[in-house]
Structure 1
Amino acid sequence: MALTTGRRRIVAVVSVAVMVAVTAITAYRVLAPAEVSTTARGEYPAAAVREAGVVGRLPVAPLIVDGRLRVYAAQRQVYADGPVDARHRGTPYWSYRRWPAEVSGVVAAGTTVVSHWSDGKLVALDARTGQVAWQVDGPAPAEGWTARRTGAGAVWSPAGLFHTGTGDPPTLVVSGPERLAAFAFDDGRELWSTEVDGACRTDVGTTSTGRFAAVDRCAGPAVVEFRDVRSGEPVDRWQPPGVTAEWSVTPVGCVTEGVRCGGLRVTGPSDDGGRGWLLAADGPVAVPALDPSDAELTGEWVVRAADGVVTGGSARDGEEVWRRTDLGTVRIVAVQADRVHLVTETNDLITVDPATGAERSRFVLNVGADGVGWTPGAAYASGGYLALERLRPPPAPDADDQRYFLTSEPLVLAAT
């Protein structure tokens, strides 16, 4: 009897040990750092040739890459689908996941997609295949995933993540609370790195003149610091003339937010709009046409929509070149190098040429039976496409996503 009881105890102890071991192994597999790369198996989508009009609706915000793919971000995933003019989000063409790190931001240039993660890791993917092209340790961001449900904040305005476009050679600038660094976009080589105090600096972005701009308040009066993107060397510390003790800088004329910006708008606490500046090779040049907050810069042209009048003129001399009074009450939601996108009060999308004011397209931004009873939110334009968030009126930024966004597919995608 005692022997049987002893055997039972041994069996029980062994069983408990096995269960603990299995639980530990399972927990390790679930919680251990990991990355999963699912590369493309099908053919690379062809470049789309699409007539102007509504393409479809999406649940998440896309980056248009190479005119062929749409790239999206989630809390722990970067993925793509195609073709670019598909009516709905499709099965991922490729996908890349990491755990437990979170996506902080995503940018793309050419066929390279770079994601920045909460642990500072930079991961570059080849958009054509989804394969990892390179990985390096970059400056850790202030936060990980902060975007709302659509992910627009991670792909359209990623904090601390900037680049110089597809120029030769393209450069990636990464800013964190403690370090600022630049990397070669094609292979991830670190070009330069410097310690910074993020508590007294505000990033502005890269400029069309090959600089990286930031507002520096760390050592005395605030200045706009310009660094050479390739070397990291400070080339100018500029203080706007006549500014007050408190002022802010908004980049204008950017390819996407904070990328290759052609100008700045400096705004003080009592300014009506601000003061506009064109970024020239030898320093900022005052451009009064850019002073109003509703003025937009695209290349050498300034376009403004105010009081039912849309005008376009030269950024250099401020001379008005064209004027439209037949478009009704409109507002500019996005610009591209060769087009300006305006939305009417009834959510018609009108696209005009910034040099002439000629109308390129006009149509209602309605998808299915959704109607037009919504308010435009964040917007993104690239490659002749416009993606726009649709919000429930009146917009309630502090509300949950169900109240804030129009539907479960709040993004409307249009070809212009």
Structure 2
Amino acid sequence: MLTALLALVVIAAMGVTAYRTLKPAETVSSAKKPVPSPEPVKSIQYAELPSAPLIVEGRLRVYTEQRRVFADTPVTAQRLMTPHWAYRRWPAEVVSVVAVEKPASGVGMSVVVTKWSDGEIVALDAEKGDIVWQVRIDPADGETFKGRRTGAKTLYSPEDLFVTTSALDHQQVVIATGKDVVQAIDPVDGKIRWTHSFAATPGCHAVDWTSLDAYFVKDTCAKPATLEVYDAGTGTLLTTWRPPGASIGPDNITNWYLEPTSCQLGRSGCALFKAAPTGDVVSFADAASGIGSITPTYWSLGADHIVKPELVPDKDKVVVVGDVLAEQVVGGYIWAFSRTSGQRLWMSEVSGTLIGADQRNVYLINRDYQLLVLNLVTGAVTSSTELRIRPEDRFVFSELYLHGGYLSVERLHTTNASEIDDRYYFSMNTVVLVGIG
């Protein structure tokens, strides 16, 4: 009898312990110290890190794990520092993270917006780590943490959080998607600016992105598929579009090819998209090699909300800044054109992999693992920075991040994502952070 009673006590104690361990939990570890001022950026290697950072205001590095988002400082620290702040939820997993910096006027605060597998969207004060606002969206099936060991995919290619700007009031907008629904959220206070439900056509709106001031989503259940374009600030449907020649037929015809490109981060702020009236397309490189013949056409949304073809680009890698369009040609060289006149502006004297551009520069990574910085106007090389820590380093890359004068590269042994982490990542400290002076 006594033995049975003791067994019940033990089981009851275990139940209490399990409840305390398994019940949903939210932990905020706020910052205890002020954030230092940003340092002047130099064209040097700054750090090898085990996790991929988002840079905020040039003062903070924000990281993510499966159930935790945290920050350290300064940006130029050579290693991962003790967290400046940390936010943890359990058992939910981090699905997407974006940073929204305060305007150039300095009014307001920068926030880190996090989306979780249970549908919670939580905005954190980027400087202090405190919760600023919290809303919820019905999560899509199967939402999980996809960042693996570094968090790079969750930070650099978020699938259901996008940042854009309202054309009406020029305020920033966060677009969040869930199960057949999209919400536009004011990052300052969490106010829902608009909501659109796709419940009438469930599972048909998974291909989406933002431009500088619009939200694009493809209705794959329409026959043929239809691209819908919404104003980011109001949710007003601006236009619907199909590529010329789109028709009803088998799925590979009806569900024609579509892909955003020249994006600021992930699928946010995309200047262009590629489309073709069929799903059976090949890359420009394959077509040049005689492997297929149907290549996509580049398109953009004009100020009049009319989708227009881009006259210049006919290569696989293209970036756009204002009227300048740079594309990578055979051999890895860069040609830059005026988008309005089609006139070639310059040809680079160096070659590499085109990784992005901003208002000042075009960026390449060459075969010697150097970051090359080319002047946007002239194409002249203005600086180069070594991405190898050791001369013998050899790696490939997929996820990378350009922001605020910094470049972060997730180095890999292979782009075969089915490999285990030890064979997939280049090293334990597999992310290299360099400056662009």
Question: Shared topology, TM-score over 0.5?
Answer: yes
Give 1:158 shift: 0.9
The superposition leaves residues 238-274 of structure 1 with CA deviations (integer Å, 9 ceiling, x where unpaired) of: 1122347242222223221221222212144235352
| Separation (CA, whole Å) in 2 of partners of 1:381 and 1:216 | 31
Unpaired runs of at least 5, structure 1: 1-8
| Separation (CA, whole Å) in 2 of partners of 1:333 and 1:371 | 23
| Separation (CA, whole Å) in 2 of partners of 1:235 and 1:279 | 10
The aligned counterpart of 2:210 is 206
Please tell me whether residue 388 in structure 1 is matched to residue 390 in structure 2: no
Question: SS at the partner of 1:199?
Answer: coil
The aligned counterpart of 1:135 is 134
Give 1:117 shift: 0.3
The aligned counterpart of 1:288 is 311
Trace 1:141-290 onto structure 2 (pairs within 5 A).
141-142=140-141, 143-164=143-164, 168-196=170-198, 197=201, 199-208=203-212, 210-243=213-246, 245=253, 246-267=255-276, 268=278, 269-271=280-282, 272=284, 273-282=295-304, 283-290=306-313
Give 1:316 shift: 2.2
Please tell me whether residue 16 in structure 1 is matched to residue 17 in structure 2: no
The aligned counterpart of 1:375 is 396
The aligned counterpart of 1:307 is 330
The superposition leaves residues 98-140 of structure 1 with CA deviations (integer Å, 9 ceiling, x where unpaired) of: 0000000001111110100000000000001000001111231
Question: SS at the partner of 1:158?
Answer: coil
User: Contact 1:290–1:297 at 8 Å: present in 2 too?
Assistant: no
Larger radius of gyration: 1
Give 1:199 shift: 2.4
| AA of the residue aligned to 1:297 | V
Deviates more, 1:146-155 or 1:352-361: 352-361
The superposition leaves residues 200-231 of structure 1 with CA deviations (integer Å, 9 ceiling, x where unpaired) of: 223331112x2100111223211210012222
Aligned-CA RMSD value: 2.0
The aligned counterpart of 1:407 is 427
User: Contact 2:397–2:415 at 8 Å: present in 1 too?
Assistant: no
Give 1:377 shift: 2.4
| Separation (CA, whole Å) in 2 of partners of 1:115 and 1:198 | 25
Give 1:337 shift: 3.3
| Separation (CA, whole Å) in 1 of partners of 2:165 and 2:56 | 12
| Separation (CA, whole Å) in 2 of partners of 1:177 and 1:40 | 34
Question: SS at the partner of 1:289?
Answer: coil
Question: SS at the partner of 2:203?
Answer: helix
The superposition leaves residues 266-313 of structure 1 with CA deviations (integer Å, 9 ceiling, x where unpaired) of: 144235352111321222221132332122223321112222332112
Give 1:398 shift: 1.7
Residues 198 and 386 from structure 1, CA distance in 2 versus in 1: closer, same or farther, beyond 3 angstroms? farther
| Separation (CA, whole Å) in 2 of partners of 1:191 and 1:88 | 40
The superposition leaves residues 162-219 of structure 1 with CA deviations (integer Å, 9 ceiling, x where unpaired) of: 12159842211111232221111111112222222452223331112x2100111223
The percent of aligned pairs where both chains have the same amino acid is: 32
The aligned counterpart of 1:122 is 121
Please tell me whether residue 348 in structure 1 is matched to residue 370 in structure 2: yes
Deviates more, 1:341-350 or 1:293-302: 293-302
| Separation (CA, whole Å) in 1 of partners of 2:129 and 2:415 | 37
Residues 401 and 77 from structure 1, CA distance in 2 versus in 1: closer, same or farther, beyond 3 angstroms? same
